[in-house]
A and B are shown apart, each in its own frame.
Chain A
């Protein structure tokens, strides 16, 4: 399976958890860390991200940037 990784713009996150639910490989978890607004932050704790961008698509605050490994040519 493709490998990917994501970056969060954490100060814009509102902890709605829609990304956690959208992730097809269930790699996102709610951590106990918080941003300045007091919302709990999400992480790819299991490192299983495939770069499919599902989390980023459903995010109402455009917090997530997604990268995927280039296919070997």
Chain B
């Protein structure tokens, strides 16, 4: 460091220094980094257990330096339920895409939320199946072209995009549900605060917290990273508005 200067930002310690496999500009990288920052700041790297999904984040256990369990596709919250009940003193979170959480795993998601399990769910909503080549997801927007909706999603045929956060907020035992983004600096700062709050709620035994990220998938959207975040802001934010969907009554 140059003399007279101080360190303002560095790679978080809990983010393992390996090359990750995410595409350039993908939200997954930023959210991993934020989780690592929060885990560092709370000093809970030895008390945290993540549950990895099937999807692009299937290798998340190679990137964040906590204990992990890999779930079968969609089953992360069922697994997290078991882990948390066996280890109530540990911090337990799942990390899931919209295909994992909102398609094949809808039942596990709804029932974990309905039981008010004391876990954190990190939900990456990029409106598509990234890993498998850009198929339509339940969250795909109306008119959005994907490899399985090449002419755009038609609501009459395919249903409307599912607003998971709003659905789960209706369940009486969910505690804190919020929608965040990492599309710009302001979003990154707010998202980190939301993640930290959710970990703190878990420590206090408050119950089910879900932090949704209105995310991108530049590769399957066939855009540059910068274009993908512009598209997110123009098209995703109006349908998936940012902010807290359910805040605790304190």
Contact = CB atoms under 8 A, between A and B. Distances in A.
A14 B28 CA distance: 14
A61 B9 contact: no
A54 B185 contact: yes
Interface residues of B, number: 33
A61 B20 contact: yes
B5 interface: yes
B30 A58 contact: yes
Interface string B48-59: 000000000000
A17 B227 CA distance: 11
A29 interface: no
A62 B24 CA distance: 12
Interface string A12-39: 1011111001100000000000000001
Given A16-B25, A16-B225, A17-B226, A58 B5 contact: no
B187 to A, nearest CB: 9
Contacts of B8: 4, 51, 53, 56, 66-68
Nearest to A22: B185
Nearest to B33: A62
B7 A65 contact: yes
Contacts of A68: 5-6, 8
B147 interface: no
Contact of B182 (A15, A16, A58): A58
Given A39-B24, A61-B29, A69 B5 contact: yes
A61 to B, nearest CB: 6
B167 interface: no
Q: Which of A9, A12, A58, A65 has the most CB of B within 10 A?
A: A58
A32 to B, nearest CB: 17
B130 to A, nearest CB: 14
Interface string A55-73: 0111111101111111000
Interface string B2-30: 10111111111001000110111111111
Nearest to B226: A21
Interface string B26-52: 111110010000000000000000000
A60 B29 CA distance: 4
B184 A58 contact: yes
A5 interface: yes
A62 B9 CA distance: 10
Which 5 A/B pairs are nearest by Cβ-Cβ distance? A60-B29, A16-B25, A14-B24, A16-B24, A62-B11
